[in-house]
Amino acid sequence: MKAAYIRGYGGSDKVEIGDVDRPVASPGQVLIKMKAASVNPIDWKTVKGDLKALFKPPFPLLLGSDGAGIVEQVGTGVSRFKVGDEVFFRCHKTDTGTFAQYFAVSADLVALKPKNMSFEQAASIPLVGLTSTQSLDEKAGMVAGSKVLIHAGAGGVGTFAIQYAKAKGAYVATTASKKRNELLTQLGADEIIDYHSTNVEDVLQDYDIVLDTLGETVHGASYKTLKKGGVLVSVLGIPDNEVIADYGANFIVKFVAKLHNRKMQKRAASYDAVYKHHLMYADGKQLADIAKLIEAGKIKAIIDSTFPLDQVAAAFERSMTGRVQGKIIITIED
């Protein structure tokens, strides 16, 4: 089968498209005939070697971490799916390879594709959907009536997070350039701050939650928007030690992470706020819950652009510009 992979770290020019062995469904797995997959920053960061301190995968390393397709084969012990089911999923963080014609994945990580979405639309959802719901619900404790600031609302996580927070009854402010106002209004944002002309801390106060998708440069201003005890959840930067331990990182990496997160928590405390980091984990049941919201018309896919499998490198270049509106999709033909 055809797949995208790298033989070593470097730039997007390291991405190759070639023939690899087609996988089979092991016990507890389903084999999926891939129709589409999405590009996420973690994909090209993996290519660059940014994650090699956390784990050292064998080469050649297959690329891609979520997607949608049709169940081709069902492994022993799987009863939730049958051949022909249309599904979407996010794989385990160290088990990549969805930029391929076939992918075998644990059935526990898979959900039926929303009936009102194409494969391309469904492929855009898993990573950003799980990141948003887990960050807002599990880490920040969002409830109906919460006031939530979502940075970079026009990005992949932002476009989903705005819709999800609104579906759950939150009041949502977001940051973006002025040209994104129409899109963000359509997604339900109550307040849009043009970061080119306005300091967010000058217009927002007493917020319960900040979802950071940009990094430490926005933390100081973000803390000033929070009420006492408010929570800033960051999906960038160094994970906490519990997550790092899952990767099998060595003592030095764990020690550096511990110092970093202690520093981040201390900074938050100086603003009477709470800092939390979140690295998304795969979960098929949560995806099934997200699918229900999509089928109820509460959430729609926002797609920036599509590329065929043989143009994964070009898709990475597009993603790295930082000017993407929604998600980039890789389409996969027979």
Give the model's pLDDT for residue 322.
Answer: 85
Q: Which amino acid is at 333?
A: E
Q: What is the mean pLDDT of the chain?
A: 94
- pLDDT (0 to 100) of residue 253: 73
Do the beta carbons of residue 97 and residue 276 sit within 8 Å?
no
Angle CA(84)–CA(90)–CA(92) in degrees, nearest 5?
120
Q: What is the pTM of this model?
A: 0.94
| Preceding amide of 41 cis, omega within 30 | no
pLDDT at residue 286 is higher than 90: yes
Q: CB burial class (10 A; 0-12, 13-18, 19+) of residue 155?
A: buried
> What are the DSSP E strand ranges found in 40-122?
61-62, 66-74, 86-90, 102-106, 110-112
Residue 40 has pLDDT above 70, yes or no: yes
Tens of pLDDT, residues 65-116:
999 999 999 999 999 999 999 999 999 988 999 999 999 999 999 999 999 9
Residue extent(s) of CATH 3.90.180.10 domains in the chain:
2-124+301-331
pLDDT at 258 over 90: no
Q: Worst-scoring range by mean pLDDT, 40-54, 86-100, 153-167, 196-210?
A: 40-54
pLDDT at 254: 75
CA-based end-to-end distance of the chain: 9
**Whole-number percent of the chain with pLDDT over 90:** 87
Q: Any idea what DSSP says for residue 218?
A: G
Bridge partners, 194 (sequence order): 176
Report the DSSP beta bridge partners of residue 135: none
CATH number given to 2-124+301-331: 3.90.180.10
Which token pair is 64?
């891609």
Closest by alpha carbon to 235, among 226, 227, 243? 243
Tokens of 214: 């940009």
Give the integer Cα–Cα distance in Å for 223 and 132. Answer: 19
Going by CATH, does the domain composed of 127-277 fall within 3.30.420.40? no
For residues 250 and 181, the model is more confident at 181
pLDDT at res. 52: 78
- Rounded CA-CA distance 177/154 in Å is 9
Indicate if the pLDDT at residue 51 is higher than 90. no
Sequence-distant (6+) residues with CB within 8 A of 45 are 51
Task: Report the DSSP pairing between strands 29-39 and 102-106.
Answer: antiparallel
Q: Where in the chain is the domain with CATH 3.40.50.720?
A: 127-277
86-90 and 61-62: which strand pairing?
unpaired
Q: pLDDT for 200-245, tens place per residue?
A: 999 999 999 999 999 999 999 999 999 999 999 999 987 776 666 6
Q: Write the pLDDT tens digit of every residue in 304-327.
A: 999 999 999 999 999 999 889 999
CA-to-CA separations, 74 to 6, 70, 86, 89, 107, in angstroms, rounded: 29, 11, 13, 15, 9
Percentage of residues in the chain having pLDDT higher than 70: 96
The pLDDT of residue 53 is above 80: no
Residue 132 has pLDDT above 70, yes or no: yes
Q: Which residues pair with 328 in a beta bridge?
A: 39, 305
Instruction: Give CA–CA dist 76/294, Å, rounded.
Output: 30
